[in-house]
Structure 1
């Protein structure tokens, strides 16, 4: 797949900033993400970096802001949150038509394929799951004012902001009528919990957005901060649970690594987070359901972008209307089993 960057000009830009580069840069699309385009850069001495840019084509307002993502990475240096070291933000139009963020390449593995997850020992899988929960607690413990992120976003009630934003995103990217998703939106609006604590919220925290130590189950880096904001920390654990299907459930269209032996259950994951963070989980049913609802809307947006420009299609392919429907069905399953539906 073509690299949507001028690598020769980018190499010059990096050298001007003191980065040692031998020979020419090559670039390879990495990850199975469907949003910002991510490339591994490598020089002739096998040194490597990561570059991220927004997808090709017309973008939804406020989406894919890699400059904002770079600001968050810079602010988190030196905290307990493991993040890659930021090299810089290139806004030279000769490199790309959009800003490009360059960061260090972090060693480890990314569990973006079932065969990668299957290669891990069950004890490592369990430790990885529990470390996800603990790392999320570290993210929510960051003093946003002290690290310079106090003005990252509005401090108004987060649930209402999420419902407004993602409803708007869905209307902007809708490819067909989905009355069951519209009904779920109304259910969420009718069950908004009281405002909770305010913290940095990752916004897309799941097993494929971290770099892992495959021997011990530690987390070497947390990736993909483009949806980060200020809001209710329970939204993040709700999102993690949303991406965590369990063995025995109907097919949900979601990445199924968490169904393998060893990985904690959703209840165990939530319990580890609540213990590490000291928070109460009364509103988790709302945030868990909202998390799956968001995945359905994000999937619809990805499908729309790939229809508009097939070059945005990630290695793992694009969502299909049928797969999006399975996510919506799963959202209703969560709403019912957690008791949110029927209240």
Structure 2
């Protein structure tokens, strides 16, 4: 059964939000809320409060998988990273009271710049700027992994020991949750094989760092002008302490190389980084290793893990589409998207696809 209320109307009670913000930030003559439709996980709304331009983040309405859409976690890590070498938006407030807008939410300052999704901004369309964009993306990830997380109060933010084993287990549970709701008549071909391979190939040791959990090109904000510069890293809902190479593998999954065929989900995985000037995945890995001193060992595991995680995310998208808890057209396309990703993971396991 689909929800009969318009999806947008379920995101915020503007009257209650205005009253709450007045109590927290002081009265404002100008107040406006605009839903930002570009994201595909937590919902983002732009809030004008007099001269201040703010961003509100909240979970999507409706039923979600356990541990998904944790905006409180997102706020905590960004608040801790203020003033560090990791660029993040200035945080404003965190509200755990569901009665205000129907869910927990937080506010941060809006950062000026571009989020690059399926094509490059024209100002970066030269070979030297394309190279600089790839380098900037890697260097910002290296800053996350180089951070002394204990010094900023994140020493208890996660349990890095056993992180990869828990990731395999966790995403298996997320996939189980989603598949139990999509109820595909033929199941998901390849799912059991990929899960079994991951369980048998988990690296036993890894470095311990802060990890972002969803680090890729469209989760950074690029400052206006040239050369390319990351002005903020956003979307920290999956962050924790764990294995840094899981972030690198995830980033590389969304970085297209010239020999690649069409990405399994073109609506989510851009192909423009195969153009002349952009670094290859191998060059990005070399720069990462140089910046961090961490060798990219077990690359097939991290490719398969990243692909399986994305398959789990996409099956959750499809479940939300079927339940009527999203009007994002991308979610409907996951009818074919999840199987394509599982096939991609199987190709990586048998060696026909590699970094």
Task: Give me the TM-score of the superposition, normalised by structure 1.
Answer: 0.90
Report if aligned partners of 1:296, 1:328 keep a CA contact under 8 Å in 2.
yes
* Matching residue of 1:138: 143
Instruction: Please report how far the alpha carbon of residue 235 of structure 1 lies from its aligned counterpart in structure 2 after TM superposition.
Output: 0.9
Q: Partners of 1:338 and 1:237 in 2: how far apart?
A: 21
Q: Partners of 1:43 and 1:317 in 2: how far apart?
A: 32
* Matching residue of 1:2: 8
Q: Does 1:242 align with 2:242?
A: no
* Matching residue of 1:224: 235
Instruction: Please report how far the alpha carbon of residue 334 of structure 1 lies from its aligned counterpart in structure 2 after TM superposition.
Output: 3.2
Q: Does 1:42 align with 2:57?
A: no
Instruction: Please report how far the alpha carbon of residue 272 of structure 1 lies from its aligned counterpart in structure 2 after TM superposition.
Output: 1.0
Higher deviation after alignment, 245-254 or 33-42 = 245-254
Instruction: Please report how far the alpha carbon of residue 159 of structure 1 lies from its aligned counterpart in structure 2 after TM superposition.
Output: 1.4
Q: Does 1:327 align with 2:341?
A: yes
Which of 265, 281, 287 aligns to 1:266? It is: 281
Instruction: Please report how far the alpha carbon of residue 246 of structure 1 lies from its aligned counterpart in structure 2 after TM superposition.
Output: 1.9
Higher deviation after alignment, 73-82 or 301-310 = 301-310
* Matching residue of 1:121: 125
1:313 alignment partner, SS class = coil
Gaps of 5+ in 2: 1-6
Deviation per residue, 1:58-108 (Å, 9 max, x gap): 111111111111101111111110001111112344431211111010000
2:55 alignment partner, SS class = strand
* Matching residue of 1:283: 298
Q: Partners of 2:340 and 2:261 in 1: how far apart?
A: 9
* Matching residue of 1:18: 25
- Residue 40 to residue 153, structure 1, CA distance change in 2 (3 Å): same
Report if aligned partners of 1:25, 1:44 keep a CA contact under 8 Å in 2.
no
Instruction: Please report how far the alpha carbon of residue 138 of structure 1 lies from its aligned counterpart in structure 2 after TM superposition.
Output: 0.7
Which of 141, 150, 160 aligns to 1:155? It is: 160
Aligned pairs for 1:158-177 (under 5 A) are 158-174=163-179, 175=182, 176=184, 177=187
What number of residue pairs does the alignment pair up?
A: 336
- Residue 74 to residue 13, structure 1, CA distance change in 2 (3 Å): same
Instruction: Please report how far the alpha carbon of residue 118 of structure 1 lies from its aligned counterpart in structure 2 after TM superposition.
Output: 5.7
Report if aligned partners of 1:292, 1:331 keep a CA contact under 8 Å in 2.
yes
Q: Partners of 2:241 and 2:339 in 1: how far apart?
A: 30
Structure 1 vs Structure 2 CA RMSD: 2.2
Q: Partners of 1:299 and 1:317 in 2: how far apart?
A: 7
Instruction: Please report how far the alpha carbon of residue 15 of structure 1 lies from its aligned counterpart in structure 2 after TM superposition.
Output: 3.2
Q: Partners of 1:141 and 1:338 in 2: how far apart?
A: 33
Report if aligned partners of 1:42, 1:49 keep a CA contact under 8 Å in 2.
yes
Higher deviation after alignment, 287-296 or 19-28 = 19-28
Which of 69, 85, 94 aligns to 1:89? It is: 94
* Matching residue of 1:75: 80
Q: Does 1:179 align with 2:189?
A: yes
Gaps of 5+ in 1: none
Instruction: Please report how far the alpha carbon of residue 119 of structure 1 lies from its aligned counterpart in structure 2 after TM superposition.
Output: 5.8
Deviation per residue, 1:117-158 (Å, 9 max, x gap): 466323322211111111111101112222111212223311
Instruction: Please report how far the alpha carbon of residue 339 of structure 1 lies from its aligned counterpart in structure 2 after TM superposition.
Output: 8.3
Instruction: Please report how far the alpha carbon of residue 274 of structure 1 lies from its aligned counterpart in structure 2 after TM superposition.
Output: 0.9
Report if aligned partners of 1:158, 1:195 keep a CA contact under 8 Å in 2.
no
Report if aligned partners of 1:285, 1:338 keep a CA contact under 8 Å in 2.
no
- Residue 313 to residue 149, structure 1, CA distance change in 2 (3 Å): farther
